[in-house]
Amino acid sequence: MQSAFTFRQIAGKNSKFLPDQKLAFNGKTLDISEVVVMGIINLTPDSFYKGSRIQHFDQLIRQADQMLEDGAHCLDLGAVSTRPGSDFVTAEEEADRLLEPLQLLHKNFPETWISVDTYRQSVSRQAIAEGASMINDISGGTFDEHMFAFIADNNIPYVMMHLVGTPETTHNHTLKADEIIENVRQFFEKQVNKLLKLGATQLVLDPGFGFGKSLAANYNMLTGFERFNPWDFPILVGVSRKSMIRKVLGNDTDNALNGTSVLHSWALQQGATILRVHDVKEAAECIKLWQFMKQVLHEQND
């Protein structure tokens, strides 16, 4: 029986997994040598941010077009809400919500990298067949035992998110600031080992801001991704308009954009690779300012 990869072994082979700093699938590539903006498109009637809910197909195309014009490098479609208290959705209902919009986006924006936010292998298989290029799994492979084999067998780009519990219970967990890093590190070590041994080569890590963490734990994770990412895999940061902002500022979701931009700026400084956002233009502006600042500092140090 092959032994599990150690952190040191995997980190030393990192260039094998992400050649040329690009993800590739379904005839498309996503350049991750620079920071990527991922625009969120919600196909659910109960997403926590009302402004992101899609009501009809014309709105879907307009929103996607606007996001791409504003600077999105990819789009992330989700058909199941993960907000606290959301209703359970069957795999059949999720697929019914997802596949026709995915087909429309693929038809209207054939060159666009499309990610699908699902934790089900059956839905992932259908989405990939309809033109999706990446699977964004909030469970990190823990909700569906068949997910990893499907990802690895087809070498599909895969976002592995840290989560505690089940879809129904994750928001009942509140990992504390002093335990969060070790918990996330152990989770990724276990799940990454499983996936890499199956032969997967295109992996992105998401620490799962807002999923089963205390307020302080969420901010602790923002102070250094290397503590739970010794492989130096790309990091996806999803803090857009979340309660970790609203609880500190004492505002609501509609007024959480400014706080989101502040945290995006901090995440960029910590090495974020992908920003998953509701507000593409503002995220793109954060990146542009951050890149300009880096350039100025580099020129001063030469």
87: alpha, beta or left, given left = phi > 0 and alpha = psi -120 to 50?
Answer: beta
281 counts as catalytic? no
Q: How far is CA 24 from CA 19, 79, 108, 114, 202, in A?
A: 10, 24, 20, 12, 8
**Which of the following is catalytic: 83, 242, 281, 294?**
242
190 counts as catalytic? no
Name which of 186, 181, 179, 161 is nearest 221 in CA terms: 181
Per-residue tokens: 208 = 């799962």
User: Cβ(195)–Cβ(203) under 8 Å?
Assistant: yes
Name which of 146, 138, 148 is nearest 168 in CA terms: 138
User: Whose structure tokens read 């302080």?
Assistant: 216
Going by DSSP bridges, is the β-strand pair 74-78/274-277 parallel, antiparallel, or unpaired? unpaired
Per-residue tokens: 157 = 């780009």
- Measured between its terminal Cα atoms, the distance across the chain in Å is 51
Per-residue tokens: 44 = 């659910």
User: Cβ(135)–Cβ(112) under 8 Å?
Assistant: no
Q: Where are the alpha helices (DSSP H) in 163-235?
A: 177-197, 215-221
3-state SS, one letter per residue, for 110-137? CCCEEEEECCCHHHHHHHHHCCCCEEEE
**Which of the following is catalytic: 194, 197, 276, 288?**
276
Q: What angle do CA 232, 21, 67 make, to 5 degrees?
A: 105
> Annotated catalytic sites, by residue?
242, 276
